[in-house]
Structure formats: C-alpha cells, structure tokens
Structure 1
Amino acid sequence: MTHPRHTIIPPYLLRHLAESADDSVAARAESTLRVDQTFRSDRRAVAAQATFRPTAITVAAAPNREISTAKNARRLPGTVVRREGEAATGDAAADEAYDGFGATWALFHDVYGRNSIDGAGMTLAGTVHYDKGYDNAFWNGERMVFGDGDGEIFGRFTASLEVIGHELTHGVTESTAGLIYQGQPGALNEHVSDVFGVLVKQHSLGQDATTADWLVGADLLLPGVAGVAIRSMISPGTAYDDPRLGKDPQPDHMSDFVTTSDDNGGVHINSGIPNRAFALAARAIGGQAWTAAGQIWFDVLTGADITARTDFATFARLTVAAAAARFGSDSAQHDAVRDGWVTVGVQLDAQVDAAPSEPPAGADAELLLRRTGGLAGLVKERRTTLDELPAKDAKRWSKLLTSDTLQSLSGGNPAVDGFCYRVACEALSVDVTVPEQQLSESQRNLFKRTLHQGDQ
C-alpha cells in the first residue's frame, strides 16, 4: 500500500511565503513546495484505495526510538545518531525528536493503553536535518521527517512537541480509521492529529483544558512573525496575520466551510471546524482534556463504526454516542460534546432542520458575470440577483462577493486563449476580472452554472 505524506505546513501557507519580497524566504518556500509536490501523487493514490486495518503482532509495551540525520540532504532514512536508551547527542533537533517521540508514546500507552502508534510496539523512527532550509515536517507512513526551517519565518520543526505528536498521530489514524486524505475525511484526519498533538503537549506539561493555549505549532514561528502559531484550535482563523504568511484561513463554523480543490480539498483549512468543537467540549468538561474528551475521540478513532470516508456530521454523531456510552447520556461529558458540535454548526440529527435559512448577503443586489476570451473570442454575459439563483449557488456567490477572495484571485495573467471572467456587483462594491486558471474547480463550476442557467 502507498502511504500518503502528511505535512504540518499546508501548501497555501508556503505559497504565500514563495511570493515574499525577501528572496531567501521565497527561495526556501519554493524549494519546500517542490519537495512536497512529489508527495501529492501518493496522497491521491491513497485516496482512491480501500482502507485496511493491518493485523498487529503484539510485542512488549515499551518505547523503541531511533533517530537519524539526513545531514541536510534529501536522503532517507539517513544516518542513525540515537537509539532507545542511549544518551543525548547534543544535537538539539535529534534530542527534541527523541524526547517528543517518548512523550507521544507515553500519552497513547499510559492513557489509552495503546502500544506505540500501530498498537503493536512499532519502532518510532525519525529523521532530522532533512534538506536545506526545509519549511516542513511530515509522516511518510514509516517515519517522521523534520526540516530545520528557513531561519527567518520558521525555526526547526522538532522544537514543537505538538507537531511531533500531530505527525505521529497520522500513523495511529492510518492503522485504525484510515481516513482518506481528501475533503471532510481528510480534514478529520488533520483534526485528529491536532487533537492528540495538543494532548501530547498538555499531558507532558500537566496542563488542564482551561489553562492550555490550544495552539498548534506555537514554537515554530520565529520572532518578527505576526502570529502565535500555525493553527488555533480554540479560535480558528486567528493564529497568524503576517504579510509573508497571509492571514490564517481556517473557518470556525460550518457556515464558512471552504469548498476548494486546493490542499486536498481543504484538509488543513476546514479542520478548524472540528478542532473548535473538541476544544470547546474539553473546556466545558474541565480538568485534563486527555481523560474525558480525548478518551471519547480515541474511542471513536479506534472503534468499529468509523470508516475511511466518515464526514463531519457522522464523526460528530459517533463522538456524541461514544460520550453517552462511556459517561452516560445524562452526563456533563455527553452534553459538552454535543454542545461543541452544535456551536460550530455541524448537523447532529439525521433529519435536516426545516427552519428557513437567512437569505444570503446581497440577495437582491444585481450581479454581472461576463466571460470573455477563449479561442473563438466569444462573449457570454448574465445579469441576475442572488435570489434568482439556486439556494446553494446563491450562498456561494454571497460568500465570494462579501469576502476578499475574488480580489485575491484577480490580476493574474490569463492563459493564452483562456477565458477571463468579470464579476461586478455595484451594491457590494465588487468589480474584478479573474483569469479562469486562477479559479478553483468548484469556483469554475459555479461560474459556468451561473452563465448556463441564464440560457434556460
């Protein structure tokens, strides 16, 4: 089976860095993107495969760690520098990886009774000093691999304990639920890694849910970066707002769910929604998050009912059921989990709420969509209002027109013989021209549907 590479830094963030005016930062980001691009064909292959849960061979429950160095090359596994029980090397990256592996093993074993990430005593292998200025860390199905960062935006990736826990949890998910790395299941894959990544940190430091910062990658950003981490579980969308990184794009509610073909269907973006649900539930329960909320999530992840294609609503219902099974349907834990999902807008009931929804912003404002260019040079145009469009399309248009998305897509050079779209809505002060190749697949389909509906 081909294993996907799960990187901690998403491609959209690296692309922001690649556009930096600082040539050294841009060059390192471009190099990281090129390396990461070689991983994505593997991810697409995995998304099409059926999930299997391997039969484990049980061994004695004790950590077994092996740390190697790539010596700033791209060769894996590299040269072994520290094995289980050996003294510290004096290399900060190697020793941080060794300690982080130990903390992750301790959470899963001491709290949940799991013998390493595969449940069968798997050796925790890692490679540090991968490539030069590599702005990422990833799990490749066999080992963790850490870059040293570019020294200006990101420091070494071993410095973040929750990042180590995050990446190793991909190995747990791979050997349990096998959530495909695409769309909502992929966002849940990222979410589960964020959950147990922060729990590794909280467990190691003895923090409770109320005082914990709920940040992912808090130790990655270097001084001078306008941000506190790469993600905030308790407040998605607020982790950073930096000219070089852009603004944290994570939504915190299903009403802002991002439909995109980028980032494997927004796996790093939309994970903010379940992340907030978990953090809210853990805080409402109180105490140590790994003992109640974490146990509920672990029960679902390793249970029989989750599948490789589980979506947000199904996962939410499974956690509510797991809370009732472990703590009782009238328990504070059950109520907190349910309330967490309700707060972020995830539908828990099988029936769709029949209550009328609010009309989208700008529903009665006139929208002009004009397509020009193409080989034949034909012009196609439609003037409409959002309330004349199908409800789902009206909601998508409302989101585009009331955010800065269209503005960020405009201004690119159109492809030879390619289409360009002018989008204008005077009432909302929008008038932009966007080359078709700048649009995501879902945006392109929306534009095409809107034009073609005018022919009917």
Structure 2
Amino acid sequence: MSRTRPINCIVPPYILEKLLDSENTEVRKSALDTLLVTARLQGERTVRASFSGAAAPGDGRRTVFDCEQREFLADAVLVRPEDGPEADDPSVNRAFDALGLTRDFYKEVFQRNSIDGHGMRLDAYVHYGFQVNNAYWDGRQMLFGDGDGRELGDLTKSQTVASHEMAHGVTDHTAGFEYHNQSGALNESMSDVFGSLVEQWSLKQTAEEADWLIGAEVWTPGIAGDALRSMKNPGHAFDNPKFGKDPQPDRMSRFVHMPDNKPGDFGAVHYNSGIPNKAFYLTAVRIGEFAYGAAGTLWYEALKASSAEDGFQDFAGTTFHKAGELFGAGSPEQSAVLSAWQEVEVPITGVPTGVARVRSFAVNGNGGARREDAAAALNRQIGTLNDKVTGLAQEVAALKGTR
C-alpha cells in the first residue's frame, strides 16, 4: 500500500529531541520551532501529493530565493538566478554552488539530467524561518535554515547536507523507497551515500582519503571532529555530555526496533540507515580508488532496479547481481559487495555461507600468495554459484513452458 512520504530533513528527530533538553533557552526555542516547522511542511507536502503532475523541466537551471527569516515561500525574494551575478550574501552563493555541484555530479558521473532525470529545475530558499535547525527537501525544492548558531550552524555551509536532501528527490524518481522500516532506512542511506559522493567528487578524493562524515561543517560548530552521521563508523559520529552517543547501529545484530509512526521515526529510519551506510563504505574501500566510480555506479544502478518496499536483504541482493552484470561474476567488485554485506550481517539470498568465510580470509589475511589463493577460490565459488542460479532459472522457465 502506498504511503504519504514524510518531509525529508537532514537533522534526525533524536537530535532535535536532545536540543529540547538544552539548558539554553534559545536553543530549546529553536528546536521547538524547528519541530513545528517540520510538521507544517509535512502537511503542505501531503496536500501537494494529492495533485498529479511533475515539476516543470528547466535543464537543471538554478534559482535561489531569500526567505528573510520568514516561513512562507511566496514571500521570498529572488536573489540569484542561473545567469545572475554572485550575491552579497554568502548563504545565497553557497546554496547556488551546492545545487550546481549536485546537478553536475549526476550529469557527469551517471549521465542523469537533474534530480528527476528530465532536467528538473533546482530551486533553493535560504534563511528559511528564524533560526530553524534543519534543511529540507520538500519534494520540489531545497529549504535551508540558519541554525541556532550554537549547536547547529547555517545549513548552507555543508555540501553533504544539500546533496543528501536532493538525493531524496532522486530516490523519489527511481526506486521510491517507502519511508518506513527497512525501506525507509534505505531511503535515508541512499541520501547519505550520494551526499558523500558529491563531496568526494568535488574534492577528487579517493575512498581512503574521504572522511565519510555527513554534516560535519554545521553540527556543533564548537566541537571539532564530529558530525550528524559517520558512514565509516556508524555509532561514532558524536559522543559528548550534551547529546550522548551517536545511536546508529552498524550491523543487523544491533538493529533498532521502534514503532512505525512519527514518534518512532517511522520504524527508526534515521537509526538503521547506518547499516547500509557501512555496507557501502566497506564496498567502496575494498574496491578502492574513487568511491563515485565503480561502487557509486553499482549503488546507482541498484537504486534504479529496486522496488519501493525492498528491505536490506533485497537491496543487498540487487547490488550483488548488478556487480555481476557490470563487472563479471566472481569479479573483485562483486566480491567486495558480498563481503561488505556479510560484515554488516545482511546475507545475500542464495549465496552459501562458505563463500563469505573465504572472502573474510581474503580481506583480512596477510599478504602473499595465500591471500591471492583465497581470493581466487572465492571468485571460482561465485562463478560456480552464478552458473547454478542461471541453470536453475532456465529449468524453472522450461517447466513453466510445459504446463
């Protein structure tokens, strides 16, 4: 059954709830106002969803508006169109550049024409509301709050924030992962994956060089080295007396169970996205070089091939088979995918556990011929497995033909 998609925002509910407990009156007020704004935006998105029709194509043209700390977009002032000069306001220029980097990334890396694949225009609104502690993708455009200036800074200062939010639009126009339980966690994870990849692409960083942090520039400006989330180490993005420890799990044995409703984060989607996030990180570093190359292509093709209610095991299987299609059965890329999902305790349907054990040795063993022999054995096993799956599919098709 189709569900109304909640408003997408970068700062998860568990952080806003912590902000409500702040000793600082202004921080508490900003957190409460942010929660109220989010609820209102959700209502507006629900109303829009009842009308058919897609956003008008515009070859990915950018337009930035200034809300002047108001919340009604109709009152916003146009401050920078695609062909206009730089603005005097750094927030305007940062938003403009973030839209452009995200658009150009999808065009150059995946040959995708803007968010919807058909040249969707890109609109952004800065200074949205008064000290709003969030950035939003409302289904059509980006909204950037200024933050409270203490625990959260101006949300335009983080490329991963902007690209994360716009990636929700890409998911909307591809797999359309339903925003609850495991499919909702995949929805959030896709945004972290592509949000990080846009930044890595812009900086030309390898998978090893990247920090894999989401929102590091805006979260707790006074505390160095933390972030809203860490794809490399879910559960370790932050740990301080004010906000406690990052609650994201990094494997299925630590999966967070919460009610599938708004107070329960729709089945803990912002928590459990840490599991597929870690799987992508592991895949990327094991393939090596640039994560937006082979690993990013695998995830993007899997996203396009997925269905709205797919869970972790479904998506894991899709990435594994896409790796076989794109790089060959038993290829190093397919082996990296397999070992990554096995490490976060998500099995690939039809893959024997023995294959996972061989891969574990290949990844963690020490050098020389023994490691190469283990990898070669793994590749042979995967190739044999693929042959068996293909043969079985042919037998099933033949049996159906005789009925």
Instruction: Please give the range of the TM-score, normalised by the shorter of the 2 chains.
Output: 0.7 to 0.9
RMSD: 2.5
2:376 alignment partner in structure 1: none
State the AA in 2 paired with 1:64.
R
CA distance in 1: counterparts of 2:250 and 2:232, whole angstroms: 9
Q: Deviations over 1:289-308 (max 9, x none)?
A: 111000001101122xx111
CA distance in 2: counterparts of 1:11 and 1:338, whole angstroms: 32
Q: What secondary structure does 2:326 align onto?
A: helix
Could you say if the C-alpha distance between residues 58 and 13 of structure 1 is closer, same or farther in structure 2, counting changes exceeding 3 Å?
A: closer
Shift of residue 21, structure 1, vs aligned partner: 1.1
1:70 alignment partner in structure 2: 67
Could you say if the C-alpha distance between residues 226 and 111 of structure 1 is closer, same or farther in structure 2, counting changes exceeding 3 Å?
A: closer
Could you say if the C-alpha distance between residues 57 and 327 of structure 1 is closer, same or farther in structure 2, counting changes exceeding 3 Å?
A: farther
Q: What secondary structure does 2:102 align onto?
A: helix
Could you say if the C-alpha distance between residues 33 and 352 of structure 1 is closer, same or farther in structure 2, counting changes exceeding 3 Å?
A: farther
2:279 alignment partner in structure 1: 277
Q: Is 2:287–2:336's contact at 8 Å kept on the other side of the alignment?
A: yes
Picking from 70, 79, 82, the partner of 2:80 is 82
CA distance in 2: counterparts of 1:57 and 1:168, whole angstroms: 16
CA distance in 2: counterparts of 1:352 and 1:295, whole angstroms: 26
Shift of residue 193, structure 1, vs aligned partner: 0.5
Shift of residue 45, structure 1, vs aligned partner: 9.7
Picking from 92, 95, 105, the partner of 1:94 is 92
Shift of residue 331, structure 1, vs aligned partner: 1.1
Q: Is 2:67–2:77's contact at 8 Å kept on the other side of the alignment?
A: yes
Q: Is 2:30–2:133's contact at 8 Å kept on the other side of the alignment?
A: yes
2:269 alignment partner in structure 1: 267
CA distance in 2: counterparts of 1:41 and 1:131, whole angstroms: 17
Shift of residue 245, structure 1, vs aligned partner: 2.5
Shift of residue 223, structure 1, vs aligned partner: 3.5
Shift of residue 212, structure 1, vs aligned partner: 0.3
1:315 alignment partner in structure 2: 315
Does 2:333 correspond to 1:333? yes
Could you say if the C-alpha distance between residues 117 and 55 of structure 1 is closer, same or farther in structure 2, counting changes exceeding 3 Å?
A: same
State the AA in 2 paired with 1:141.
G
Aligned pairs for 1:197-212 within 5 A: 197-212=195-210
CA distance in 2: counterparts of 1:45 and 1:215, whole angstroms: 34
Picking from 33, 57, 65, the partner of 1:31 is 33
1:137 alignment partner in structure 2: 135
Q: What secondary structure does 2:65 align onto?
A: strand
Shift of residue 80, structure 1, vs aligned partner: 1.2
Q: Percent identity?
A: 43
Q: Deviations over 1:219-264 (max 9, x none)?
A: 1124433751100001000011123323210000100000002111
Q: What secondary structure does 1:121 align onto?
A: coil
Does 2:321 correspond to 1:324? no
Shift of residue 351, structure 1, vs aligned partner: 8.6
Q: What secondary structure does 1:148 align onto?
A: coil
The structure carrying a bigger strand percent of its residues is 1
State the AA in 2 paired with 1:83.
P
Count, aligned residues: 346
Could you say if the C-alpha distance between residues 352 and 37 of structure 1 is closer, same or farther in structure 2, counting changes exceeding 3 Å?
A: farther
Q: Is 1:218–1:230's contact at 8 Å kept on the other side of the alignment?
A: yes
Shift of residue 280, structure 1, vs aligned partner: 0.7
* TM-score, with structure 1 as normaliser: 0.72
2:107 alignment partner in structure 1: 109
Q: Is 1:209–1:287's contact at 8 Å kept on the other side of the alignment?
A: yes
CA distance in 2: counterparts of 1:2 and 1:274, whole angstroms: 23
Q: Deviations over 1:298-320 (max 9, x none)?
A: 101122xx111000000000000
2:116 alignment partner in structure 1: 118
Shift of residue 329, structure 1, vs aligned partner: 1.3
Q: Deviations over 1:61-111 (max 9, x none)?
A: x54101111110111152211111211102111111100011001110001
CA distance in 1: counterparts of 2:141 and 2:70, whole angstroms: 16
State the AA in 2 paired with 1:26.
R
Q: What secondary structure does 2:124 align onto?
A: strand
Picking from 166, 171, 174, the partner of 2:172 is 174
State the AA in 1 paired with 2:182.
Q
Q: Is 1:93–1:158's contact at 8 Å kept on the other side of the alignment?
A: yes
Gap runs ≥5 in structure 1: 354-456
The structure carrying a bigger helix percent of its residues is 2
Q: What secondary structure does 2:190 align onto?
A: helix
Q: Is 1:198–1:215's contact at 8 Å kept on the other side of the alignment?
A: yes
Gap runs ≥5 in structure 2: 354-403
Q: Deviations over 1:356-398 (max 9, x none)?
A: xxxxxxxxxxxxxxxxxxxxxxxxxxxxxxxxxxxxxxxxxxx
Q: Is 2:56–2:120's contact at 8 Å kept on the other side of the alignment?
A: no
1:399 alignment partner in structure 2: none
CA distance in 2: counterparts of 1:171 and 1:110, whole angstroms: 18
1:298 alignment partner in structure 2: 300
Could you say if the C-alpha distance between residues 226 and 219 of structure 1 is closer, same or farther in structure 2, counting changes exceeding 3 Å?
A: closer
Q: Is 1:3–1:42's contact at 8 Å kept on the other side of the alignment?
A: no
CA distance in 2: counterparts of 1:202 and 1:320, whole angstroms: 24
CA distance in 2: counterparts of 1:344 and 1:126, whole angstroms: 36
